[in-house]
């Protein structure tokens, strides 16, 4: 880094990524702090940068498959569920028939009249914004809102050993032809100014469960570009993944490929560190 007069610095994701790469390569916080000062950062900006680094590399407890897999099956309380894929780093589990056809139907039909163009949480402000990277329609169920939602939430809590209160309400999304969800991380970026306000209710997102409510005629795979793994949408199936660090080193980058024919319906459950209110 080039030497300049000490000054206020804006901490960008790029700078944080550079710091994280150094930290993960074994450089101490003290060495990084000194490198920031040497590069012309003032004391306060460099202190804040090191705090952000600590926040984004903090290892959080995450949900995981909580039960023994016997002959490829796990007991989810009210039914047995098949595990058809398991991999580590990131922890990814694919379930077959987590939901029944009638549960998928009910989630779609109760969501349909309530759909509107999807918004995402704006981490700059803590509010919500239209997101061009996500061209689907969506809605949120309140936690425990319907009998089917309660049944599905109980099943998820048991499978993943994570309290129901630590989950956001189920989000249902409908993608039409051409709609997609470009690759992104589901955690809230610690660098963004709106993130502290978002974390006040429930802490970080630590894991995601995407449940497929139907099968698009073509396209719409969920993709994990960092680990070159794809999941094809199949009604009732689901993909779970966790991210113990709110940082790209979690390898949890994922997206929804464009739907090229038909519609794709999913329900997503995001799991938080603590009770989500
Ligand atoms: O629809 C998907 O496959 C998808 C991809 C990426 C959904 C989400 N993210 C999500 O709901 O966070
Ligand atoms: Zn996502």
pLDDT at 4: 53
pLDDT at 128: 77
pLDDT at 220: 98
The dihedral through the CA atoms of 5, 11, 17, 21 has a sign that is positive
Task: Give me ligand 2 centre to Cα 144, in Å.
Answer: 22
pLDDT digits (tens, 9 = 90+) for 217-260: 999 999 999 999 999 999 999 999 999 999 999 999 999 999 99
pLDDT at 118: 80
Token code pair at residue 124? 């700059």
Surface-to-core class of residue 212, CB atoms within 10 Å of its CB (0-12 exposed, 13-18 middle, 19+ buried) = buried
| Closest C-alpha residue for ligand 1 atom 12 | 186
How much is the average pLDDT of 23-32? 94
Ligand 1 atom at shortest distance from the alpha carbon of 221: 3
Any atom of ligand 1 within 6 Å of the Cβ of 256: yes
CA distance 39 to 57: 22
Token code pair at residue 277? 């209110």
Reported confidence tier of residue 5, pLDDT bands at 50, 70, 90: low
Q: Does pLDDT of 3 surpass 60?
A: no
CA distance 225 to 185: 11
Any atom of ligand 1 within 6 Å of the Cβ of 268: yes
pLDDT digits (tens, 9 = 90+) for 149-188: 999 999 999 999 999 999 999 999 999 999 999 999 999 9
In 3D space, the residue among 199, 214, 211 whose CA is nearest the CA of residue 60 turns out to be 199
Run of H or E including 156: helix 147-160
With the most atoms of ligand 1 within 8 angstroms of its CB, the residue from 254, 264, 270 to mutate is 254
| Closest C-alpha residue for ligand 1 atom 11 | 268
CA distance 101 to 181: 24
Task: Give me ligand 1 centre to Cα 73, in Å.
Answer: 25
Reported confidence tier of residue 1, pLDDT bands at 50, 70, 90: low
């Amino acid at each position: 880094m080039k030497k300049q007069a000490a000054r206020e610095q804006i901490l960008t994701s790029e700078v944080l990524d550079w710091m994280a790469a150094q930290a993960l390569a074994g450089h101490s916080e003290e060495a990084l702090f000194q490198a920031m000062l040497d590069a012309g950062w003032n004391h306060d900006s460099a202190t804040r940068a090191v705090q952000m680094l600590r926040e984004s590399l903090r290892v959080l407890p995450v949900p995981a498959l909580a039960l023994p897999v016997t002959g490829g099956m796990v007991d989810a309380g009210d039914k047995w569920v098949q595990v058809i894929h398991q991999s580590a780093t990131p922890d990814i589990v694919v379930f077959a028939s987590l939901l029944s056809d009638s549960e998928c139907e009910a989630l779609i039909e109760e969501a349909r009249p309530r759909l509107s163009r999807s918004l995402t949480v704006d981490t700059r402000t803590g509010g919500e914004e239209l997101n061009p990277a996500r061209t689907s329609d969506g809605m949120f169920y309140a936690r425990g809102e319907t009998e089917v939602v309660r049944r599905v939430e109980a099943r998820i809590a048991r499978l993943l050993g994570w309290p129901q209160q630590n989950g956001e309400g189920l989000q249902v999304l409908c993608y039409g032809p051409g709609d997609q969800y470009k690759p992104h991380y589901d955690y809230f970026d610690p660098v963004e100014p709106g993130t502290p306000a978002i974390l006040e209710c429930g802490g970080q997102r630590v894991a995601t469960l995407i449940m497929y409510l139907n099968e698009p005629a073509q396209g719409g795979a969920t993709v994990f570009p960092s680990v070159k793994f794809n999941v094809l949408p199949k009604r009732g199936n689901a993909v779970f993944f966790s991210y113990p660090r709110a940082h790209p080193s979690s390898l949890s980058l994922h997206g929804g490929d464009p739907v090229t024919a038909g519609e794709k319906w999913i329900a997503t459950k995001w799991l938080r560190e603590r009770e989500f209110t």
